Structure 1
Amino acid sequence: MTFEALPAPPSRAPDLADDFTGPALRDDLWIDHYLPHWSTPERSRARYDLDGDGLRLRIDDDQPDWRPEDAPLRVSNVQTGNFAGAAGEGRGTHRHRPDGLTVRTPGTTRLLWTPSAGRVDVTVSASTDPGAMLAVWLVGSEHPGPRDSGEICVFEIDAEAVGAATTARIGVKAHHDDRLHTDMTEVSVPLDASRPHTWTAIWGPAGTVIGCEGRIAGRFRQAPDYPLVLMIDIFETGGRSASTAYPKTARVHRVRGWDLT
């Protein structure tokens, strides 16, 4: 991570602004399911609380795997859009697996905040629960076409990587977009990510900049130039453990986003 300062945010008010202080999750901004078209509602639905200190995403002991084929894999996610083709088709947001994802829950197309260029600041507290990962992604909606599938990985933080300094994965993933190439890197940020801190992504024709706590963590010479869905999620990938306390949790304290398309 460099010590170069991030650019200041736009002077105008953000298009997306949420402190998660309301009595319920805002359905004009968020879909509380993880890629619901590839799964079924009881499996894709997020577990979460709004308790005055932001959005607490949970993995509960009784939570089902996202898809039986992917077990063990449990996730609680909120996202700002979704696109799905017809039942049985292979069209939909984030075709992240090569082994034949097909639409199981059609009719889930909603585009709430999906800029093609912009800036997003996300303030989070990462999980330290074993086997958990907190991630923030900007993923191509794919509703204009299947090539529009690239991803900006704002960060992925494994619980085991959190400490006085924290290791995170950041970068760009091409997925099915042959105009991009996957360029991921690990960075060490000098903070305990289990405490509130802010990650930033800025993207557009000049490329992508990813930062943490106001400092640049990585520069990338490419950026998707089509609508992107903001996704914030906690994963459990290692399966249930009798020695692990539930729920496993992470927090989202604040989100600010500017559409610069």
Structure 2
Amino acid sequence: MTAPSADKPLAGRVAAVTGSTSGIGLAIANALAEAGADVALNGFGDPAPALAAVGAAGGGATRVAFHAADLSKGPDADAWVKAVEADFGRLDILVNNAGIQHVAPIEEFPPEKWDAILAINLSSNFHTIRAAVPGMKARAWGRIIAISSAHGLVASPYKSAYVAAKHGVNGLTKTVALELAETPITCNAICPGFVLTPLVEGQIADQAKANNMPQDQVIRDIILASQPSKRFVTPESIGAMAVFLSTDAGANITGTMLSVDGGWTAR
């Protein structure tokens, strides 16, 4: 394994990031590549631009690959981990980022949307962790990171499935951390507030239309109403946090929910 260095602290490590063809997942993949890790991507978007971006972030020294999988299906999520291990020879850093959203009052919430959100946002974490832990134990090193949400700590109306799933992710994170506490494997969750991603941009447009107001007013008075900083979290800051947790500096941080939310959950 390539020895890490000050500018490449993750050299020799292999990272796998779900939902990484765009948005937060791609920013995390880029940050891990910049830190020297080889990176396995996954997602429903066109993989070509993501492969090029992560390869460039790694300065040409990072190996990057894409493995397709429908993470809403347990066997596919399990097979994805096994494919990464077979292709790269190991899996050291698992970042569960894939997620979807739907907003509706509970009495109008479509059951199929509930099932899909729980499958992708929560159950896929269980399946990938279950598949990755044996190899991490055998190699006596590992980092498991969930991209949860401020909604894993507090609730908002009309997001029953998302809030339930993210609370579940945080509970799963704590449980796995306790089970692995005596091993060199950590398990943590990053809980962002609102990040300006295509998913959130869609919510802004929908809210502007529904409330007949300009988008900048929607951002301040509706989207960021609960975020005291009134600033979106950047995807790059989430990537930097994932890198930190993956280095030796994060070796004794486990079972923790790390809020990056502009003060949202300080209230």
Structure with the larger strand share = 1
Structure with the larger helix share = 2
Normalised TM-score (structure 2): 0.32
Normalised TM-score (structure 1): 0.32
By relative contact order (CA 8 Å, sep 6+), the higher-ranking structure is 1
